[in-house]
C-alpha cells in the first residue's frame, strides 16, 4: 500500500483537503526553514559565548527575523519559487532559491551598514542566507517529489482543453504519460484523424468546426486553461478563441516555435520544454501580487490575533441570544468556479434557509441575489453584526486558508452563478475577497445587480495595491460608522 492510500485510510488527506490546510502547511514549512537558518547560524556563532541556545531570546535577532522573513517569502514569490512546480527542472529550482538567498544576503548587508549593527557578527549575517538556501531548497525538492507522487494519483490537477493538429501528438503524449505534472485533458478540438483514432475512447474529441462548443464547455465545466498547440498559429482562429476565454477569465495559451513571435497582452510561459504565450486578462503584476499575497497571509493572521477578544465576545452574544451554532457555514463559489465553505458569524435564526422559500416574494434585489432590508430571519444581535460588518470576521480564516483574499469580489452562492450572464462570469477569474467596491457603498443594497457586477469587473480591470489599500480603509470606515446592512 502506498503512502497516499494510507493517508486517505487515516482520513488525513481528506481532512487537509476539506480545511484547505495545504497552503498553510507549505507556508509554515518555509517559515520554519528560515527560522532554522537563523537558529543554526546563531548556534555556530554565539553558542560558545554563553548567550543561550535560542536566537529569539535576543531582541535584535528576533526583530531581524521578523523583518527578513516576509521579505524572503516575497523574494521567493517573485521568483516563482513558492509554487510547487509541475514541470520545472531541478536546476531551475536551484537557481530560484540561490537568487532569493542572494537577494536576502544583499538586504542583510545593507541593513547591517544602514542601521550600524556592528555589534552583530558578520559571520552570523553571512550564514543566515547560506543555511536558508540549503534548508529551503532541500525542503522544496522534497515537496516537489511528494507532489509528483500526489499528482500521479490524480490529485491537484488542472483541467485543460487542447486545440490541436497532427503535430501535437508528442505534447499530448507527454501530458498523458507524465501524470505527475497534474494536467487533466477535458477535451481536444482537432481535425486530425490520427488524434481522433488514438484518443477517442478516453478523451472527448470534437472537430475544430465545433469550436463554438468551447464557449458552452467553459461555462458549465471548471476549465483552468485552454492550450492552442497547433503547428501553425492562425491569428484569426486565435482571436475567435481568446475572446470568450478573456470574457470568462479562463487562461489561454498558445504554443510557439518562432522566438520572434509576440502577441499583445501575452506573457511567455513554459510547460516542460514547450514554450507558450499566455494571455492574461486578470491582474498579473508579479511584484504587486506578491505583496498582496504576503498581506493576505500576515494581515489575516494579525487580524485573527488582534480581533480574537472581539470574536470571542461576539460568539458569546450569539450563543446566549438565540439557539443554534455560532458559526454559519455556507458553500460559496471561489476562483474559477471552485466551491469552498465560507465562514460567518450566524446572524439569522437556525431555519433561515427554509424560511427563505416563504419570503421569495419579498425579495428587493434584482438578478439572482436575494436581499430584504428588514429581513425577519435576522436576530437582534445579527442586525448589529450586519450593520458593523463584524459578521464577516470569521472569513479571516478563509483568507488564511487561501480560499479568499482580504480585498476582492464577494464570493457568490452556487445557485447565483448558474443565473449569471456570460460577461458576469469573469468576476470568478480572481480570488474572492472580504470586501470590494460594492461592500463599501453606503447604499449597497439599493445597487442594481448589473451595476454590482460592473463594479467587480472594474476592480479586476483597474486593480492595484493602492486600490486595495483604499478599499481596506473604506471597509474600516464602514465598520466604525455602522453603514453596512
Q: Mean pLDDT check: name the lowest of 31-40, 98-107, 385-394.
A: 385-394
Angstrom CA distances, 336 to 213, 417, 429, 430, stand at 19, 11, 5, 7
- Asked if residue 142 and residue 62 are part of one domain, the reply reads yes
**pTM to 2 decimal places:** 0.68
Number of domains present in the structure of the chain: 3
Q: Which residue among 100, 123, 152 closes a domain?
A: 152
Model pLDDT, residue 482 = 57
- Asked if residue 174 and residue 128 are part of one domain, the reply reads no
CATH at 207: 3.40.50.150
- Asked if residue 326 and residue 448 are part of one domain, the reply reads yes
For the stretch 310-360, pLDDT in tens is: 999 999 999 998 898 999 999 999 988 888 999 999 999 887 777 777 777
Q: H/E element holding 134?
A: helix 122-152
Model pLDDT, residue 69 = 92
Burial bucket for residue 130 (CB in 10 Å: 0-12, 13-18, 19+): middle
For the stretch 430-456, pLDDT in tens is: 899 998 887 777 666 677 888 889 889
- Asked if residue 64 and residue 178 are part of one domain, the reply reads no
- Asked if residue 401 and residue 336 are part of one domain, the reply reads yes
- Asked if residue 398 and residue 473 are part of one domain, the reply reads yes
The three-state secondary structure class of 317 is helix
- Name the DSSP class of 327: E
- Asked if residue 300 and residue 274 are part of one domain, the reply reads no
- Asked if residue 400 and residue 360 are part of one domain, the reply reads yes
Helices (H), 371-463: 380-388, 395-400, 414-417, 449-461
Better pLDDT: 223 or 362:
223
- Asked if residue 49 and residue 177 are part of one domain, the reply reads no
Q: With cut-offs at 50, 70 and 90, classify the pLDDT of residue 9.
A: low
For the stretch 271-307, pLDDT in tens is: 888 889 888 777 777 778 878 888 898 899 899 999 9
Q: Which residue among 120, 152, 184 closes a domain?
A: 152
Q: Which residue among 152, 182, 200 closes a domain?
A: 152
For the stretch 36-74, pLDDT in tens is: 999 999 999 998 776 778 999 889 999 999 999 989 988
Q: How far apart are CA 129 and CA 102, in angstroms?
A: 7
For the stretch 250-264, pLDDT in tens is: 889 999 876 666 665
Domain enclosing residue 334, as ranges: 286-481
- Asked if residue 76 and residue 23 are part of one domain, the reply reads yes
Cell (9 digits) for 158? 488542472
pLDDT > 70: percent of the chain = 89
DSSP characters over 210-277: GTTHHHHHHHHS---EEEE--SS--HHHHHHHHHHHHHHT-EEEEE---TT---TTEEEEEETTEEEE
- Asked if residue 476 and residue 364 are part of one domain, the reply reads yes
- Asked if residue 197 and residue 75 are part of one domain, the reply reads no
Amino acid at each position: 500500500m502506498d503512502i497516499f492510500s494510507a493517508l486517505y485510510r487515516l482520513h488525513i488527506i481528506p481532512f487537509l483537503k476539506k480545511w484547505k490546510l495545504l497552503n498553510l502547511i507549505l507556508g509554515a514549512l518555509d517559515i520554519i526553514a528560515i527560522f532554522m537558518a537563523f537558529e543554526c547560524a546563531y548556534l555556530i556563532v554565539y553558542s560558545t559565548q554563553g548567550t543561550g541556545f535560542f536566537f529569539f531570546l535576543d531582541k535584535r535577532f528576533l526583530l531581524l527575523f521578523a523583518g527578513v522573513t516576509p521579505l524572503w517569502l516575497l523574494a521567493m514569490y517573485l521568483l516563482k519559487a513558492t509554487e510547487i512546480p509541475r514541470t520545472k527542472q531541478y536546476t531551475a529550482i536551484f537557481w530560484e532559491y540561490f537568487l532569493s538567498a542572494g537577494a536576502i544576503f544583499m538586504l542583510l548587508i545593507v541593513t547591517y551598514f544602514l542601521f550600524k549593527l556592528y555589534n552583530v557578527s558578520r559571520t552570523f549575517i553571512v550564514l543566515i542566507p547560506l543555511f536558508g538556501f540549503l534548508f529551503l531548497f532541500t525542503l522544496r525538492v522534497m515537496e516537489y517529489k511528494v507532489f509528483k507522487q500526489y499528482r500521479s494519483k490524480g490529485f491537484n490537477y488542472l483541467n485543460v482543453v487542447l486545440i490541436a493538429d497532427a503535430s501535437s501528438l508528442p505534447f499530448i503524449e507527454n501530458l498523458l504519460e507524465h501524470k505527475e505534472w497534474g494536467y487533466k485533458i477535458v477535451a481536444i478540438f482537432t481535425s486530425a484523424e490520427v488524434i481522433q483514432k488514438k484518443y477517442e475512447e478516453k478523451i472527448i474529441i470534437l472537430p475544430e468546426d465545433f469550436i463554438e462548443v468551447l464557449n458552452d464547455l467553459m461555462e458549465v465545466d471548471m476549465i483552468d486553461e485552454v492550450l492552442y498547440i497547433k503547428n501553425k498559429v492562425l491569428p484569426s482562429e486565435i482571436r475567435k478563441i481568446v475572446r470568450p476565454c478573456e470574457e470568462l477569465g479562463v487562461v489561454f495559451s498558445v504554443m510557439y516555435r518562432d522566438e520572434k513571435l509576440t502577441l499583445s497582452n501575452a506573457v511567455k510561459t513554459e510547460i516542460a520544454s514547450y514554450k507558450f504565450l499566455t494571455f492574461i486578462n486578470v491582474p498579473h503584476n508579479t511584484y504587486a501580487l506578491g505583496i498582496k499575497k504576503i498581506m493576505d497571509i500576515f494581515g489575516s493572521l494579525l487580524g485573527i490575533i488582534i480581533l480574537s477578544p472581539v470574536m470571542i465576545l461576539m460568539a458569546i452574544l450569539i450563543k446566549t441570544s438565540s439557539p443554534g451554532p455560532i458559526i454559519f457555514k455556507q458553500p460559496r463559489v471561489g476562483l474559477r468556479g471552485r466551491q469552498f465553505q465560507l465562514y460567518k458569524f450566524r446572524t439569522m435564526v437556525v431555519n433561515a434557509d427554509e424560511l427563505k422559500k416563504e419570503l421569495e416574494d419579498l425579495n428587493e434585489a434584482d438578478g439572482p441575489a436575494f436581499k430584504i432590508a428588514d429581513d425577519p430571519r435576522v436576530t437582534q444581535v445579527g442586525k448589529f453584526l450586519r450593520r458593523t460588518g463584524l459578521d464577516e470576521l470569521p472569513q479571516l480564516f478563509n483568507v488564511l486558508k487561501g480560499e479568499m483574499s482580504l480585498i476582492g469580489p464577494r464570493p457568490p452562492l452556487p445557485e447565483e452563478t448558474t443565473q449569471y450572464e456570460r460577461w458576469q462570469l469573469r468576476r470568478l477569474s480572481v480570488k474572492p475577497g472580504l470586501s470590494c467596491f460594492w461592500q463599501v457603498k453606503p447604499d449597497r443594497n439599493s445597487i442594481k445587480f448589473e451595476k454590482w457586477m460592473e463594479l467587480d469587473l472594474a476592480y479586476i480591470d483597474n486593480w492595484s495595491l493602492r486600490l486595495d489599500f483604499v478599499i481596506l480603509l473604506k471597509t474600516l470606515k464602514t465598520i466604525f460608522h455602522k453603514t453596512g446592512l
